[in-house]
Homo-oligomer: A and B are copies of this chain.
Amino acid sequence: MRLTDYTDYSLRVMLYLAVRPEGLSTIQEISDAYGISKNHLMKVVQRLGELGWVETVRGRNGGLRLEARTPLLTVGEVVRKTENDFSIVGCFANASEPHRHCVIQSHCRLRGVFAKARDAFLEELDQHTVGDLASPAGELAGLLGIVRFTPAANIVNGITGHS
């Protein structure tokens, strides 16, 4: 039983952006931090944009940031949208694949059992938000190589001091 890499990467991108709430991040930075190919991440980020969870700012100093409400999303809400197959077993109806007929379907209890188990899985994921994942923020930022926000005035002073 496995979720797709697509779901895994979607959560990791949003975790990265949640740990870095100020400023913009680039796909290159996220790719470097996790060692995930930039090509994979581009597709992931495009979809996260379409879902309204990540904002893409274009231009030379552009980049990515979370939309304001994204930290409130539950992990369950994310997984329901990014995972394209919650069929569990072949006889479940599934939009992306033809339904596989099973002769006992009309009286089979297994379908109901698996549907309940899937719901229990998702309900547990609903107990946690994207914002919750961004903790402990300092440690995660360190591991991801994120330089935490320093007020602009200090940077200017620092530069001035060295010049």
Q: Which residues of A contact B (CB under 8 A)?
A: 1-3, 5, 7-8, 11-12, 15, 33-35, 75, 83, 85-90, 102-104, 106-110, 113-114, 116-125, 127-128, 132-133, 135-136, 139-140, 143-144
Contact = CB atoms under 8 A, between A and B. Distances in A.
Given A34-B103, A133-B109, A135-B109, A88 B140 contact: no
B117 A125 contact: yes
Tell me the dominant secondary structure on chain A's binding face.
helix
A109 B128 contact: yes
Contacts of A87: 2
Contacts of A12: 102, 110
A132 B106 contact: no
A135 to B, nearest CB: 7
Contact of A121 (B120, B127, B135): B120
Contact of A122 (B34, B75, B117, B128): B117
B88 A2 contact: yes
A108 to B, nearest CB: 8
